[in-house]
Amino acid sequence: MSPVDVFGRPQTVLLLGANSDIGLAIVARMVGPDGVAILAGRDPHRQPEPPLGYETHYRYFDAADTSSHEKFFAETFAEHPGIDTVVLAFGVLHNQDDVNDNPELAVEMIVVNHVGAGSALLHAAIQLRQRGGGQLVVLSSVAGLKPRRSNYVYGASKAGIDFLARGLTRSMATSDVRVLVVRPGFVHTKMTADMGPRPFAVTAETVAKAVVDGLARRDQVIWVPRILRWVMGVIRLLPPSMVDKLDA
């Protein structure tokens, strides 16, 4: 059974991170006019503006409450057996200066971005495997590829889910479940609205197009924009002192 229709569009997409600008942009690109979107988050009644132009359902999901994940995925897939794509787009980003003064903020980022995302990823993989196949889209970040003093806790939390998702790709190699790891750079969203301009910045819609194209190519990892693959290749070779200068 194919997880997409004859036009290559997923029939039913589960978005974890109902208020994520990037997640909503991905769903808008992936779901056809007859498709279904399930938006899951801690505020399931906060509907996106403008309203989505297809059948939409809302569910409560708390990434930090990992004890609830097994029940959430079992019930969601039972209610929507047509789910063929799961997008993990939730995350927490705190200013590193605030984190330095309040370690609880660091714990929150690690719990949500790594532990919670890892739990959700593994539970979703089980459900898709039992269904007979599907696609998992995991939002990582280039921040997880090289420690920087300006965001090393956020980077560490993203490095963890990036590593886990790539390992899951190998684990699922003999199944019909595919995993796509998305490594964007700076993206203009609500979460980054208070930050200044950044090089190679993109929009949520740019990330969404790259995701759809990557799925069509059956990629395992994509960079948005693509040039970041080569930029980060150079940065990873730099000594810490030079990386610190880039943060200045």
Active site residue 152: no
Alpha helices in the chain (DSSP H): 21-30, 69-79, 96-101, 103-110, 117-131, 152-171, 204-217, 227-235, 240-247
- The 3-class secondary structure across 175-227, one letter per residue, is CCEEEEEEEECCEECHHHCCCCCCCCCEEHHHHHHHHHHHHHHCCCEEEECCH
139/100 Cα distance (integer angstroms): 25
Q: Which two tokens stand for residue 152?
A: 């090393």
73 vs 169: CA distance, rounded Å: 20
Whose CA is closest to 83, among 74, 95, 93? 74
Phi, psi (5° rounding) for residue 58?
Answer: -125, 135
From 54, 58, 152, 154, active-site residue: 154
Catalytic residues: 154
